[in-house]
Structure 1
């Protein structure tokens, strides 16, 4: 396993909050006032769920697509993981109301129930879909294993990083709605590592894919702690130190959410939203 040699930043579920994402990245010194990458060789990880709930999911997709290229040109990296809302959006776009699950719900209906934004569906283009279908499900950087959901369902798709990611890509490219539905359901599982024996299941994930600590989003920390989202100011370490939840509920309150810099042994820095300033929207 490699060690950390560059600054490593991670942001939880963005859910269409483009302006807040830009503000957090600017506060960390990763982008300039106009929203362009100035982070040099820094590394940024987004744990998925870019769309739905917030006002501009497609804007978040386009922005991270661009930052991916800008960071790479500067010697840095931007990793954007697959969440459960991305395949749900793909299902709504691809199958609409043509197919229904065992509960009689179409992809479009389920997407709307999850606060899918009509403007996102209208603005979605083939280039967005192509990019979304190639998002990795799991990424290991130094001692950290990054994934979206707090579940071990990833083990159903492969026993090493390459295998599981290729399996997810193939599933996202499938023309079979049943296959896509199974993926949405798998990535929608949550709370596995908080259950009895959860730390053991987390350790199995780490033994399979490598790393010393799981870092995930998907389940807002405010839900776990039964507090208001604006009262969550830092990630949640749990399951005997094997798991770190970074979903600060960015889309659930105007002051909620954060960006975290991870070091070799844990959290080095936390950046919170600044409500008195706006970073310019990129062209």
Structure 2
């Protein structure tokens, strides 16, 4: 998936024009974290934009961390599983929170307390689990209790998430890349978890990286990356970026909007 890009460690001497896939349009949404209310409004806004714009091959890219922290992880998953197939092609990327949930409810129940602290309680509660009981159960039993409350189709949906998506000169990942490493040799752990080594690096990755994972007050548009995690679960602000040809713009949904 990465083979068409060539990474360079040199800093650019001037701005570079990044272009999306010819004849197509992409809408990428940052970390949702259980905020179904904001996601529904964002998708409705995107649908209005599609109706008002020239027709194109349209992609809807979710950058991962759909679950945990916010109040309605289950509702988010069910909403996305029911997205209509009217020409909008959905792409779902695996975030570190999806990875952690699958691991804990799979073969790593010993990590349950860590996951619960970082949003797992809210996830479990959204599936009707009596979370007060989890503290008195052994980790494996608590994991079994949560797993039993989740429809198998939800597990299968999340397990099918991709690690990256290319769109012209743009590369979409959850967290970022390991600088200096060939793009076709990136480790999935970095794609889902990396922070400072990627965020502080100014080198040319051979593509414009669009990512979530790290919260910023406003979208961060750098010369080599665009961060669009505006902390929906705590700020009430969900951000997306619209890319068509050489043009891009941000779409912002706030919980206080009418």
TM-score (norm 1): 0.66
Following the alignment from structure 1 to structure 2, what is the Cα–Cα distance between the partners of residues 19 and 149? 24
- Residue 273 of structure 1 and its aligned partner are, at CA, apart by 2.7
Aligned-residue offset at 1:42 = 2.4
| Partner residue of 2:43 out of 19, 22, 25 | 25
Distance 1:193 1:108, change over 3 A: same
For the 8 Å contact 1:11–1:258, the answer to whether it is kept is: yes
User: 1:237 — aligned with what?
Assistant: 221
SS in 2 for 1:270: strand
Write out per-residue CA displacement over residues 75-113 of structure 1, whole angstroms, 9 at most, x where no aligned residue: 32010100000011112222464xxxxxxxx22111112
Partner of 1:273: 254
Aligned-partner Cα distance in 2 for 1:62–1:18: 10
Residue 42 of structure 1 pairs with residue 45 of structure 2: no
Cα separation, 2, equivalents of 1:145 and 1:186: 11
**Residue 86 of structure 1: which of 98, 108, 123 is its match?**
98
Question: 1:84, 1:63 → 2: CA distance?
Answer: 20
The residue number in structure 2 matching 1:251 is: 233
Scaled by the length of structure 2, the TM-score of the pair is: 0.72
* Greater strand share, structure number: 2
Cα 1:56–1:30 change in 2 (3 A) is: farther
Output the CA distance in 2 between the equivalents of 1:6 and 1:126: 34
CA deviation string 1:147-204 (max 9, x = no partner): 0012329x69x827xxx7xx96xxxxxxxxxxxxxx4x87322122233xx133x51x
Using CA pairs under 8 Å that are at least 6 residues apart, name the structure with larger relative contact order, 1 or 2.
2
* 2:155 is the alignment partner of 1:129: yes
Number of corresponding residues: 214
- Which residue does 2:26 correspond to in 1? 8
Q: CA deviation at 1:127?
A: 1.4
Matched, 1:113 2:138: no
Q: Is this contact kept in 2: 1:7–1:262, CA < 8 A?
A: yes
State yes or no: 1:159 paired with 2:164. no
Structure 1 pair 5–274 and aligned structure 2 pair: CA distance change class (3 A): farther
Q: Give me the whole-angstrom Cα distance separating, in 1, the residues matched to 2:56 and 2:256.
A: 26
Return the index of the structure with the highest Cα Rg.
Answer: 2
Match of 1:262 among 234, 243, 256: 243
Partner of 1:214, secondary structure, is strand
Which stretch shifts more, 260-269 or 77-86? 260-269
CA contact (8 A) 1:237 1:243 kept: yes
Q: For residues 93 and 140 of structure 1, what CA distance do their matches in structure 2 show?
A: 30
Taking only aligned residues, the RMSD between alpha carbons, in angstroms, comes to 3.0
* Distance verdict in 2 for CA 1:108–1:186, change over 3 Å: farther
